[in-house]
Amino acid sequence: MAKYVKYNECIVSINEEKIFALNASLSSNSSTKANVVYGGDVETYQAPSELSASVSFEYYVTGESDVISNLTGDISCTGSFGGINFSGAYLTNYSINIEPYMPVTFKADFNIYSGYQDLLSTGQFGSGKLNLANGAHTSLTNINYTNLGMDNPQRIDYTVTSERFPNYVIGEEFPQDVRLGSVVKEISMNGEDIGKVINFSGQDFAQIEIQPETNNNLSRGQLITCNGIIKNQNLSVSKGGLVNGNIEIFEVIR
């Protein structure tokens, strides 16, 4: 057993695919209740609800596809974090951040429903020269004045949230199955040249496509699509600055 595991030895993987993680965290929480008997003594402790465990990490996509993007549906996965193996994990939040001239970052949050093996071990992420998606070369479709009322996006945040409902039965520690609830996409964009953005009524739809690409136009991760309602617009200005806008698009998948 390794007593100390350094960053470059702490491997994150999902379904046996290594992830180039910038940071990662794994946590568990047990809801504990004390049984107090007559006289004020604590007789025992019990857990009135299930163990809650989660893992999250921020990462770069180093290949053409992102193995995590397909887990927003009704699919479980296995994984490891620094040698700690877990199973029965379901993706609850998947997000992508795009900014000019910055590497495109991805983030994933999972709930773990089948426990994990808490034994740290070292590993190694073997990687040559990384060719990462860059905000300056990301391909944008329909992000213009006519479709959105914004010509020049400066930051794009994309999020898919998947609702999970574990089904527990008597006599079993872990859920019998985990059901998929609502799945919602949201895109938030900050930018200049906001044009008619504040005139949108809340009944307007926008359809956009975003493809993260490298400096030499190689795709990194899936094509980001959103065909939903424009639900929120904001304008802001500060002394010595320009008027900036923010617009949010909301799409319910199920």
The mean pLDDT value for 40-59 works out to 76
Give yes or no for residue 1 having a pLDDT over 60: no
Hey, which residues does 20 pair with through a beta bridge? 60
Give yes or no for residue 125 having a pLDDT over 60: no
In a domain, 89, yes or no: yes
In a domain, 36, yes or no: no
In a domain, 38, yes or no: no
In a domain, 210, yes or no: yes
In a domain, 60, yes or no: yes
Distance CA 157, CA 246 (A): 11
Domain hosting residue 134, numbered range: 7-28+47-252
In a domain, 40, yes or no: no
In a domain, 33, yes or no: no
Distance CA 123, CA 11 (A): 6
* pLDDT band with cut points at 50, 70 and 90 for residue 68: very high
What is the count of structural domains for the chain? Answer: 1
Predicted pLDDT at 51: 72
In a domain, 2, yes or no: no
Instruction: Please provide residue 165's backbone torsions phi and psi, each rounded to the nearest 5 degrees.
Output: -130, 100
124-150 in b/e form (b: 16+ CB < 10 A) is eeeeeeeebbbbebbeeeebbeeebbb
